[in-house]
Chain A
Amino acid sequence: MDHQSSPGGATRRELISAAALVPGAQLLSVLMASPARASTPDGMEASIREFVGEASMREGRVKLEVPPLVDNGNSVTLTVSVESPMTEADHVTRIAVFNEKNPQPNVAVFHLGPRNGKAQVQTRIRLATSQKLVAIARMSDGSFWSASVDTIVTLAACLEG
């Protein structure tokens, strides 16, 4: 077969195979990059274990409020409140928030004390996809309490914007 040279010197066959390879290679790199980075339910468990340590954790006393249906994952209002008298003898020392499927399992850790008077914090977070969020409070007596909530995200953060 007679190979016809293009102006650049490459053959027609080489050009076609090169064109076919490029998008494939890009797609492959994207596919390979995402699973290594994404937080997983196991990753969240490990981060929670790190925060709680050997102590046992019970559900209750914590209220985690996030809109159940999120239009825009780039900015989601999150409120955590904990039932506590917030006195010198009995108060919340820390509140941690974790997520299941963002690139990292940690969201934030808030350090509180009796001077706060009321154990409630609010912030705005990013959600990469529909997922479960967990809030855990550590009390001054060393006990841990938790709450979790499922959210549905229609426009994900981290991809655009």
Chain B
Amino acid sequence: MARALSNVPANAKRGKVIEIKTLTRHPMETGYRRGASGEEIPRDIISRFTCTYNGAEIFRADLYPAIAANPFISFFTVATESGELVFAWTDDHGKTQTETAKITVL
């Protein structure tokens, strides 16, 4: 999916703490702005981000309108086993966009 990006090392030694970076395309419209003719632009933000590692949730973030457009989030995790990391961004309307990254643990 072109709308979301993640940066996860392809290989890692077991037990190593690795950094994970994620970025997705989204306007994060605050709901506080007005359009050209003065009408309020309705709020539309990603309010939740989760990361699961082989099905188990390892990180979650609740986001508010103060997060900049195209939200960037980075965090760390311990490389425990080979498998899949799934990132999910959920917006105010409950629509979820996901991205998957594979990791090989040596």
Contact = CB atoms under 8 A, between A and B. Distances in A.
Our verdict on whether A and B bind, yes or no, reads yes
Interface of A: 37, 74-76, 99, 102-104, 106-113, 115-127, 157-158
Given A76-B68, A115-B80, A108 B74 contact: no
Interface of B: 17, 30, 32-33, 53, 56, 58-69, 71-78, 80
Contacts of A116: 58-59, 75-78
Most buried by B among A104, A123, A158: A123
A118 B60 contact: no
Given A109-B62, A112-B59, A117-B17, A122 B73 contact: yes
Interface of A is mostly: mixed
Nearest to B61: A110
Interface of B is mostly: strand
B39 to A, nearest CB: 13
A117 B53 CA distance: 14
A70 B77 CA distance: 30
Smallest CB-CB A-B distances: 3 pairs: A117-B17, A117-B78, A118-B76
A124 B68 contact: yes
25 contacts: A37-B32, A102-B66, A103-B32, A104-B66, A106-B64, A107-B67, A108-B61, A108-B63, A109-B61, A110-B59, A111-B60, A112-B75, A115-B53, A115-B58, A120-B75, A120-B76, A121-B75, A122-B72, A123-B67, A123-B71, A123-B74, A126-B30, A126-B67, A158-B30, A158-B33
